[in-house]
Amino acid sequence: MSFMELFEKEYAPNLGRRSYTFGQIFLYLDSLDKSNYTIVETGTTRQVDNFQGDGCSTLMFDKYVNSKNNGTVYTVDISPESCAVARSLTSNKTIVTLGDSITFLSKFHNPHNIDLLYLDSYDFDYNDPHPSSLHHLKELTAIYPKLSSGCLIVVDDNFDGGIGKGKYVRDFLNNVGDILCWDQYHLGYIKR
């Protein structure tokens, strides 16, 4: 079974509002037709089978690189418990790092090889949206100048009216002229 068949059968029905855009993420990666994929994620899977709530992106990214027989997923989180869950659900193709995401991204080796940068670390609070939105902009700017053209940049937890984790990321990427793929629950851009 191909990864996309697995995605359509096992994951998509459980992803709710993330279903379409996760499918688009994997189709974009497939379109690159690479022999070795690099996926970098901030925030990691923290609960087993919580596809509706958190998306279980780490698990899907791990399955994706395994389906291609080559590639690596790098995921970082400040929670030891979340890191332990992610390690228990993934293969040796996923490297789970306990630490601060901004520091991690600023020191990431070979950032020009990143195919997908998935930002989803700092939980969003409707009553105080600024800290999460600003954190995701800081993550992006810690690595952005080193990303290659064609890198897909995705931010989770975006809401109607431009509110969410990607609020400032959207402004930044629009200003630098990157290509908007979708502005839904996932915000997605391709670096020019």
Do 192 and 154 form a contact (C-beta atoms < 8 A)?
Answer: no
- CATH number, domain with residue 10: 3.40.50.150
Q: Six-digit token pair at 2?
A: 């191909």
Within 10 Å of residue 56's Cβ, how many Cβ atoms?
Answer: 26
Tens-digit pLDDT profile for residues 129-180: 899 999 999 999 999 999 999 999 999 999 877 889 999 999 999 999 999 9
132 burial type by CB count under 10 A (0-12 exposed, 13-18 middle, 19+ buried): buried
Q: Which of 38, 60, 32 is nearest to 109 (CA)?
A: 38
Q: How far is 21 from 182, CA to CA, in rounded Å?
A: 8
Instruction: Return the structure tokens found at 131.
Output: 């800290």
pLDDT digits (tens, 9 = 90+) for 33-84: 998 999 999 999 876 765 555 658 999 999 999 998 789 999 999 999 999 9
Return the residue matching tokens 């609020």: 167
* E strand or H helix at 103: helix 101-106
pTM reported for the whole predicted model: 0.96
* 27 has a pLDDT exceeding 60: yes
Query: What is the DSSP secondary structure assignment for residue 10, as one 8-state letter?
Result: I
The predicted structure's pLDDT at residue 47: 65
Residues 6+ apart with CB under 8 A from 19: 11, 12, 13
| pLDDT at position 100 | 98
What number of CA atoms fall less than 13 Å from residue 13's CA on the CB side?
A: 5
Number of domains in the chain: 1
pLDDT in tens, 174-186: 999 999 999 999 9
Q: Identify the domain containing residue 150 by its residue range.
A: 3-190
What pLDDT, on a 0 to 100 scale, did the predictor assign at position 52?
Answer: 56
Contact by Cβ (8 Å): 104, 135: no
